[in-house]
């Protein structure tokens, strides 16, 4: 560690100690006031004994803790647990702030040298190694990074608790970074005291199990609270770094980031995730992003007060404004005075109409496709074109500073579209197999499909996929489990056909163990009109999840067997010759241990790279990692650099838990 980093770390640790002392004092005052001095005394005794045990490891400290805790009744233990829950939450906040403080200090100290492992340093390394700008542009054009949010399996805290911790964090920020007057600093500490008091009096865990839609809403809080702001900043940093390190080069940065979610789509082991829940989830995603765009359009309109007298306006722009005003039923008076503000009003009105249509829309698989009304946004490109028309006027009048306001909005549209997050559907292979068995028996095609051998299943499925006649009737008379599997595919088809073509893209098969598992899903997709080769349509990627050691070892063989089946090859062609494969870190680690699991994961990625080259297709690896090391957790940058050659190729999907 160099001197500047050492100084930054030392300052951060000192700041952390100050924050911990402040938060600890406020918590102790709260405990004494609301729970009484006896509870505070027990909290202090346990905390001091635990610190002594950690520092010295003396047997008498361990003995004291065990005997003291054994002596407490249930009510006292509950109060102690509450105290330490808040205590550790507050300590974690102080630690996070210290880490951020150290990073900011290092950035300031070594400026203009880029920080280690930053985007700017990565670009600098490429330039220093002689990587030409033209080649880097090609890499960026094909770069595709997709974090996928999953519900955290152990996150039991309520949203209201997380919100209050975030509010405390904001007050610590004010104390750490703003030059507050004494009264202002005291007000910030009083606010923290108030929030700690509320935490003490609030139930920390849910009294009822949350519904799936509650988890969806909690996930959307993350998007609204951070991604909408961070994503444009990241793109801006990338552009400025490229322009600085490769001067004279014009950079056009595509949407290299996309975001996905499993929450509301992952039904493996989650019977509450139904077709209706998936439809509701997609609607929530869309409503969230459309409301955000509406607020952005209104804010933009307040800022773009440019006078028509001071602008050179293309006649086509003015004519388009007048036509839109008539179609939207808006008064055209402002067009001649403040045309850009008027255009923002048009965009806001269109977004409002799009939201109204979404509220009234109930996508049904049996419906025929209907046209989207002309003043409703049907695609992100339509919204983007409206924003670009304003930007073009500003740039044409050398108002480039104002044009950058449009860049932020346009970048969000590029990344989030009209769908916000791509919802992945996941179900276990056993559920598909049971459904196919019942469907084929009811249709009189095969009495016991499940009892067939692997090759017999493949032969039967291959034949069924070439038959023009559907296997599943419109009216379902199956068991609830089979009907739900079918309804899932029909719901996905209805959403993509009638509501949002970008909302769902991937169908993941947990427990994949043979090639027939993928053909079963392709048959179910065909029955729901998701796979229509005669129309040149295959709407979803069908993704095997290899998670056991045996499946990881046989993964390439399973995929190679499918390449001999015409219907599967046709499906891949319609998906631009892309085969995505998900590899699971947790199950293989539990089954065979960390080292053997890590080696199997490494080997399958090498095998998949060879498989892609041999078959002249693209294989994208979806990493089911996160959390503890045993679940594949750890620094993502190091994990990416550790992948075998050919395993990434500019495209990466990775789960982000919690």
pLDDT tens sequence across 342-355: 999 999 999 999 99
Q: What are the chain's domains?
A: 1-113+157-202 (no CATH), 279-416 (1.20.1440.90), 422-657 (no CATH)
Q: Structure tokens of 488? A: 């899932």
For the cut 50, the answer to whether the pLDDT of residue 538 exceeds it is yes
Query: In this predicted model, which residue has the larger pLDDT, 334 or 392?
Result: 392
pLDDT of residue 60: 86
Alpha carbon distance 510, 614 (integer Å)? 26
pLDDT of residue 629: 45
The arithmetic mean of pLDDT across residues 306-321, rounded, is 93
**Percentage with pLDDT > 90 across the chain:** 68
For the cut 50, the answer to whether the pLDDT of residue 630 exceeds it is no
Mean pLDDT in the chain? 90
pLDDT of residue 214: 87
Is 590 annotated in the active site? yes
Residue 77 binned pLDDT confidence (cut-offs 50, 70, 90): very high
Query: In this predicted model, which residue has the larger pLDDT, 137 or 222?
Result: 137
Q: Are 193 and 30 in contact (CB under 8 A)?
A: yes
Helical (H) or strand (E) element with 187: helix 182-200
Which of the residues 127, 292, 590, 602 is marked catalytic? 590
Q: Structure tokens of 647? A: 């395993």
pLDDT of residue 104: 84
For the cut 80, the answer to whether the pLDDT of residue 153 exceeds it is no
Alpha carbon distance 507, 431 (integer Å)? 14
Which of the residues 127, 152, 292, 602 is marked catalytic? 152
Nearest CA-CA partner of 200 in 156, 164, 174, 171: 164
Return the HEC string of 486-522.
Answer: HHHHHHHHHHHHHHCCCCEEEEEEECCCCCHHHHHHH
pLDDT of 106-122, one tens digit each? 888 888 888 887 889 99
Query: In this predicted model, which residue has the larger pLDDT, 549 or 508?
Result: 508
Nearest CA-CA partner of 555 in 510, 604, 598, 591: 604
Is 152 annotated in the active site? yes
Q: Roughly how many angstroms between the first and final C-alpha of the chain, as a whole number?
A: 32
pLDDT of residue 126: 92
Residue 156 binned pLDDT confidence (cut-offs 50, 70, 90): low
pLDDT of 585-603, one tens digit each? 766 666 666 778 788 888 8
For the cut 60, the answer to whether the pLDDT of residue 658 exceeds it is no
């Amino acid at each position: 560690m160099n001197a500047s980093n050492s100084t930054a770390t030392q300052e951060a640790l000192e700041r952390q100690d100050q924050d911990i002392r402040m938060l600890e004092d406020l918590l102790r005052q709260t405990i004494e006031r609301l729970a009484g001095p006896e509870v505070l005394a027990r909290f202090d005794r346990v905390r001091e004994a635990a610190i002594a045990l950690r520092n010295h490891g003396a047997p008498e400290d361990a003995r004291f803790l065990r005997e003291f805790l054994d002596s407490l009744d249930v009510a006292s233990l509950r109060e102690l647990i509450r105290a330490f829950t808040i205590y550790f939450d507050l300590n974690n906040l102080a630690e996070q702030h210290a880490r951020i403080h150290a990073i900011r200090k290092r950035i300031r100290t070594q400026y203009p040298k880029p920080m280690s492992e930053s985007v700017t340093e990565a670009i600098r390394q490429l330039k220093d190694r002689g990587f030409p700008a033209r080649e880097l542009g090609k890499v960026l054009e094909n770069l595709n990074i997709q974090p996928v949010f999953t519900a955290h399996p152990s996150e039991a805290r309520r949203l209201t608790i997380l919100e209050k911790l975030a509010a405390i964090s904001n007050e610590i920020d004010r104390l750490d970074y703003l030059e507050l007057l004494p009264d202002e600093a005291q007000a910030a500490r009083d606010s923290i005291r108030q929030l700690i008091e509320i935490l003490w009096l609030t139930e920390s865990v849910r009294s009822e199990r949350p519904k799936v839609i509650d988890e969806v809403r909690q996930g959307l809080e993350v998007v609204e609270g951070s991604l909408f702001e961070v994503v444009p900043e990241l793109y801006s940093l990338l552009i400025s770094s490229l322009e600085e390190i490769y001067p004279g080069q014009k950079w056009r940065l595509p949407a290299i980031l996309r975001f996905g979610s499993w929450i509301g789509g992952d039904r493996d082991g989650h019977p509450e995730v139904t077709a209706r829940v998936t439809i509701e989830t997609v609607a929530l995603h869309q409503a969230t992003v459309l409301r955000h765009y509406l607020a952005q359009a209104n804010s933009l309109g307040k800022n773009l007060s440019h006078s028509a007298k001071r602008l050179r306006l293309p006649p086509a722009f003015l004519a388009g404004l007048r036509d839109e005003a008539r179609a939207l039923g808006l008064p055209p008076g402002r067009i001649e005075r403040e045309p850009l503000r008027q255009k923002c009003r048009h965009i806001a009105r269109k977004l409002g109409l799009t939201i109204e249509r979404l509220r009234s829309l109930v996508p049904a698989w049996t419906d025929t496709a209907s046209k989207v009304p002309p003043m409703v946004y049907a695609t992100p490109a339509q919204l983007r074109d409206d924003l670009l028309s304003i930007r073009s006027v500003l740039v044409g009048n050398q108002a480039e500073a104002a044009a950058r306001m449009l860049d932020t909005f346009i970048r969000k549209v590029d990344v989030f579209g009209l769908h916000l997050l791509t919802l992945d559907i996941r179900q276990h292979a056993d559920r598909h197999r049971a459904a196919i068995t019942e469907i084929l028996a009811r249709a009189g095609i095969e009495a016991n499909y499940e009892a067939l051998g692997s090759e017999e299943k493949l032969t039967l499925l291959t034949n069924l996929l070439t038959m023009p006649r559907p296997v599943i009737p419109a009216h379902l008379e199956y068991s609830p489990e089979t009907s739900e599997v079918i309804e899932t595919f029909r719901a996905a088809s209805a959403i993509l056909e009638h509501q949002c073509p970008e909302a769902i893209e991937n169908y993941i098969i947990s427990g994949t163990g043979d090639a027939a598992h993928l053909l079963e899903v392709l048959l179910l997709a065909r029955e729901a009109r998701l796979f229509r080769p005669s129309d040149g349509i295959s709407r979803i990627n069908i993704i095997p999840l290899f998670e056991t050691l045996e499946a990881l070892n046989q993964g390439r063989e399973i995929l190679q067997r499918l390449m001999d089946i015409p219907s599967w090859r046709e499906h891949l062609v319609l998906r631009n010759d892309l085969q995505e494969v998900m590899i699971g870190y947790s199950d293989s680690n539990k089954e065979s241990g960390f080292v053997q699991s890590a080696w199997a994961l490494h080997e399958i990625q090498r095998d998949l790279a060879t498989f892609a080259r041999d078959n002249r297709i693209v294989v994208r690896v979806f990493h089911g990692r996160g959390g503890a090391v045993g679940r594949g957790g750890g620094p993502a940058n190091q994990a990416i650099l550790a992948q075998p050659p050919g395993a990434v190729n500019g495209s990466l999907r990775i789960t982000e838990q919690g």
